[in-house]
Amino acid sequence: MIITPTIISLREGLEVALILVIMLSYLKKTNQSDLRRFVINGSVFAAIVSLGVATVVGFFWGVFEGAMLNIFEGTVVLIAALLLTTMILWMWKAGSSVAKDIETSMESSIIKQSGIGLALLSFSLVLREGVELSLFSMALLIQEGDLSYVGVALGLVLAAGIGFGIYKGSLRISMRSLFNWTSVFLILFAAGMIAYGIHELQEAGLLLIGPLEVWNINPPLLPDGSYPLLHENGAIGGLAKALFGYNGNPSALEVAAYLAYIAIALSYFWRERKTLASIGQKESTKVALVS
């Protein structure tokens, strides 16, 4: 299943692309294009370090087995869900001021350290996204198997193409709308990650709260040994599992955590949307009064 990895890596890749577009456009606008190499070098080094993080995590995944593997997988997935949540919240809160904040940081870096400061800035900004993507990729590999790498690669290629088009001015897209609606999908996916992480820790015997199976709606295997369509490993059930963390036989704690996360996150999302809409209306009113 490559849909989920594609969407997640597209989202992460677009954030990196947005950072680079803002930085390179600022240098072009201020006639400092000679400093572009520092931005590019910093981002490339960040990508290399991120790959190193992914390699280390993958190494430990191959070493552990039994209960330790359950603990490792559950921990990685829960950390990835936490990072995914902070990423979503950060974009909701700072989305409208990202460009201004980055440009202010660039101006300060150029004044203090010139090119080296720019390299460090691009490195730190891209590294955060790269480490997040490394952990997400590992979590996806744990949940969905080797095909997740195909989705991650596809999402990054799409993000690079969109970023290049925006930088060259040949593509215009509402990044806020894109981030908002992919955030709704990511909330559902993160809820599934949390439930999966809890499941792994319960399997390892670390979480003894709410272990009872709430229901089991997985249909029995077909006579040929294959999974029915609605089974969590079947065609339709597997798609729902990949996209939204569907589980045909969850524990009580998994269900409670899944529903609580979605309720809290979506209520926060709609509250932020209303706040931004209210601010936009006030700004429009001010402009009208001045006119």
pLDDT, one tens digit per residue, over 26-59 is 999 999 989 999 999 999 999 999 999 989 988 8
- Residue 204 · residue 74 · CB < 8 Å: yes
- 269-281 tens-digit pLDDT: 788 777 766 655 5
Per the domain annotation, does 131 fall within a domain?
yes
Per the domain annotation, does 173 fall within a domain?
yes
Per the domain annotation, does 166 fall within a domain?
yes
- Residue 266 · residue 92 · CB < 8 Å: no
In this prediction, residue 288 carries a pLDDT of 44
Per the domain annotation, does 178 fall within a domain?
yes
How many distinct structural domains can be found in the chain? 1
Per the domain annotation, does 34 fall within a domain?
yes
Per the domain annotation, does 231 fall within a domain?
no
Cα gap 35→43, rounded to integer Å = 13
Domain range enclosing 173: 3-186
Q: What is the pTM of this model?
A: 0.80
Residue 162 is encoded by which pair of tokens? 């969109």
Per the domain annotation, does 215 fall within a domain?
no
271, amino acid identity: R
**How many Cβ atoms are within 10 Å of 188's Cβ, its own excluded?**
17
Per the domain annotation, does 253 fall within a domain?
no
In this prediction, residue 94 carries a pLDDT of 66
Torsion sign across C-alpha atoms 78, 184, 251, 222: negative
Cα gap 82→70, rounded to integer Å = 18
Percent of the chain with pLDDT over 70: 91
In which band, very low, low, confident or very high, does the pLDDT at 120 lie, cut at 50, 70 and 90? very high
